[in-house]
Amino acid sequence: MRVYWEITRACGLACRHCRAEAATHRAPEELSTAEGFKLLEELATGTPKPHVVLTGGDPLERPDLFDLIAKGRSLGLGISVSPSATPRLTREAIRAFKEAGVEAISLSLDGATQTVHDGIRGVTGTFERTLIAGEQARELGLPFQVNTLVAEETLAEIPGIETLARQIGAARWSLFFLVTVGRGVVLQPISADACTKLLGWLAERATLPGMIVTTTEAPHFRRIVAESRLSAPGRGHAAGIRDGNGIMFVSHDGEVFPSGFLPVAAGNVRSGDALQIYREAPLFLSLRDVDSFHGRCGACEVRTACGGSRARAYLASGDLLGEDPLCQHQPAGHVDQTTPA
Ligand code: SF4
């Protein structure tokens, strides 16, 4: 369904939670233009064709970005881009995205104020640049998504960010629930209790017209939405989409991961076919077998639609198939093996 390709790790920002541990210069081991074309050709053989998100780092750091977009579009792939809010993200760049057939861009907003957002992003001025980029995208008719980090440091900002995202006309708001990987270790994840409260609030906000509200690395939002019976069905991610199931991530050097937050590789597109790795690698197959999951996720009645964050389960316990500690659901009949009798 969705392929996230980290086309470079180079970026002018130094965000505290950066998955890519972004660098100031492009790495020599980045996939070349020719290797990128081969990857896109392999992805385009899928039925249906996946949507490709060109991410980074900052995709605008690659001089061949628009060649990659053109190649993807010529193959019939839907393309989105996740640029960083740097001086490269000009009105001309946004117009070029629109003219190249990019379906949407995503912009990060981690604070409702300049102080909080710029503090997290590590560069003064990114808050203002993000708001301007959103306004320009709207004027040019290019849909944009707002991405927001959910961590202890941003939790109090969430309502203000929602207001701001609606004001600037975001088509979609995606909240990423921190998984401690990369620079993320310097920020703190929220508690399971705070997560349950936040998801309940989000389920209500998701009923409002306009902006679609989705989560990343918190698939149990679907359970909470279903229990609340509030949100219009069919909005946001389809049920069951999670790390390794409907999602794959290709790193700058071609390694294939179930997501950008689960640091276990299943192969490399330099030596194998991207879709074949997705379809046949034992790692991906195990992540799609919800009946082999452990703990509460294994016993859960909604494990097919949810399945928990595999990245968080892995980083919390070392068990890829373990339970997601951010979810408080107690499936009927589940006996907690960790509690002494
Ligand atoms: S127990 Fe696991 S599968 Fe069930 S809702 Fe929670 S995270 Fe999802």
Q: How far apart are CA 37 and CA 27, in angstroms?
A: 18
Q: In the chain, what's the furthest Cα-to-Cα distance? A: 65
Q: Which of 303, 334, 335 to mutate to test the pocket of ligand 1 (most atoms within 8 A of CB)?
A: 303
- State the closest ligand 1 atom to the C-alpha of 296, by its place in the atom list counted from 1: 1
Q: How far apart are CA 306 and CA 147, in angstroms?
A: 21
| pLDDT at 11 (0 to 100) | 87
CB distance 190 to ligand 1 below 6 Å: no
Tokens of 318: 């070392």
DSSP annotation string for 170-212: -SEEEEEE----GGGGGS-PPPHHHHHHHHHHHHHHTTSSSSE
- Residue matched to tokens 């909470």: 224
Q: How far apart are CA 165 and CA 133, in angstroms?
A: 12
* Least trusted range by pLDDT, from 10-14, 67-71, 291-295: 10-14
Expressed in angstroms and rounded, the spacing between residue 117 Cα and the centre of ligand 1 is: 31
CB distance 224 to ligand 1 below 6 Å: no
| Torsion, CA 260, CA 127, CA 170, CA 213, rounded to 10 | 50
Expressed in angstroms and rounded, the spacing between residue 151 Cα and the centre of ligand 1 is: 20
Expressed in angstroms and rounded, the spacing between residue 218 Cα and the centre of ligand 1 is: 9
Q: Which of 223, 225, 317 to mutate to test the pocket of ligand 1 (most atoms within 8 A of CB)?
A: 223
Do 266 and 27 form a contact (C-beta atoms < 8 A)?
Answer: no
| CA 128 centroid distance within chain | 23
- State the closest ligand 1 atom to the C-alpha of 223, by its place in the atom list counted from 1: 5
Expressed in angstroms and rounded, the spacing between residue 136 Cα and the centre of ligand 1 is: 39
Mean pLDDT of 61-67: 97
Expressed in angstroms and rounded, the spacing between residue 231 Cα and the centre of ligand 1 is: 19
Do 58 and 88 form a contact (C-beta atoms < 8 A)?
Answer: yes
Nearest 5°: the CA angle 210, 215, 231 is: 45
| pLDDT at 182 (0 to 100) | 58
**Upstream peptide bond of 72 is cis (omega within 30 degrees of 0):** no
pLDDT tens for each residue of 123-138: 888 999 999 999 999 9
CB distance 324 to ligand 1 below 6 Å: yes
DSSP annotation string for 120-164: HHSSTTHHHHHHHHHHHHHHHT--EEEEEEESTTTGGGHHHHHHH
- State the closest ligand 1 atom to the C-alpha of 328, by its place in the atom list counted from 1: 6
CATH 3.20.20.70 fits 2-272, yes or no: yes
User: Which residue's alpha carbon is nearest to atom 2 within ligand 1?
Assistant: 297
With 0.85 as the threshold, say if the pTM is over it: yes
Q: How far apart are CA 147 and CA 274, in angstroms?
A: 26
| pLDDT at 341 (0 to 100) | 39
Q: How far apart are CA 287 and CA 310, in angstroms?
A: 8
pLDDT tens for each residue of 153-203: 999 999 999 999 999 999 999 999 999 865 556 789 999 999 999 999 999
